[in-house]
Amino acid sequence: MKGGTKMIFTLTMNPSLDRYLYVDKLIEDDTVRVEKYEDYAAGKGIDVSRVIKEIGGTSVAISPLGGENGEKISFMLDGEGVLYAAVRVKSETRMNVIVQTPKNQYRMSLPGQNLSSAEFSLIMDMINATIREGDTLVASGSLPTGFSPSLYAKIVKVAKSKGIKVYVDTDGENLKEAAKESPNGIKPNIYELSRLLGRELKTDEIPSAIREISRTYGIEDVLVTLGKSGAIVFSDGKMYKINPLDVKVASTVGAGDSFLAGFVYKREESLVEALKLAAACATATVMTPGTTLCLRKDVEELEDKVKIEEM
């Protein structure tokens, strides 16, 4: 799976240590026994780097990390063999606690870290020092507490000024601000696309909405993931429908990140191959349980089965 890009970097501004607690059931006013727990170094950009590594590529995950949680994330990424460039910060990296019962999931998100302007400057210095013209930067996820959405616009602007290809996967005001600086691509789902346009979209309205976004903001690649319905992608002035593959779904965690990883990995080599790999990575990810992302053997088996239609 040789990729065509020079180097792919990811940026996760608001990483977290996700702790999954597995219990039989929640009982009010009684002791709940945790059968097991698992920690996961979470972050959309980090997941993109994980997938690129799994399919045979090289990617570096840039992220601010602080405190004991940040140290634990570092050790976990070391153990996974994921290359990363950590910007050490004073604040403790946030933790999410997810209580998982056989039927339901309860997610508790603790407050995020506060970064100082000096620490943000270090992150921008990292981008300037490591990423070169022709490389790709994938900026994903939310922002730390207290930062304006305009931060995303600044990241895109700085990267593009250096000749770096920029893809953004975020939501709400963050996506709106990033779009103003015309990144090379964005990867919303239908709900995020609706919020970007400020109106609720139906499935049959997606193609026209995508064209509107591309025209308004000057974005070349608009990748809209639709879960079990596949994806619709506008690229090189053409619209494509990626049909879903019929597989048994174990977990949808990380499917969108996997789609974006596959796409950027092959984008400079072949658009059609990029679309096939994107769909194969996303499909392979939903086949794995919990937070486990795609497995290379599954991706390779699925890639040739992906059907793409020009709309």
In a domain, 101, yes or no: no
| 66: helix, strand or coil | coil
| pLDDT tens digits, one per residue of 41-62 | 999 999 999 999 999 999 999 9
In a domain, 93, yes or no: no
In a domain, 208, yes or no: yes
In a domain, 197, yes or no: yes
In a domain, 97, yes or no: no
- Please give the structure tokens belonging to residue 72: 């634990």
Mean pLDDT for 7-28 is 93
Q: Label residues 120-133 b or e (16+ Cβ within 10 Å = b).
A: beebeebbeeebee
What is the structure's pLDDT at 41?
Answer: 95
What is the structure's pLDDT at 256?
Answer: 95
| pLDDT tens digits, one per residue of 134-153 | 999 999 999 988 889 999 99
In a domain, 99, yes or no: no
Using a cut of 0.85, tell me whether the model's pTM lies above it: yes
In a domain, 188, yes or no: yes
How many domains does the chain fold into? 1
In a domain, 235, yes or no: yes
| pLDDT tens digits, one per residue of 204-240 | 999 999 999 999 999 999 999 999 999 999 999 999 9
Q: Which domain holds residue 278?
A: 44-84+138-158+167-310
Give the domain CATH number at 188.
3.40.1190.20
- In degrees, rounded to 5, the angle at the alpha carbon of residue 43 between the alpha carbons of residues 21 and 87 is 120
What is the structure's pLDDT at 146?
Answer: 81
Please provide the average confidence, as pLDDT, over all residues in the chain: 93
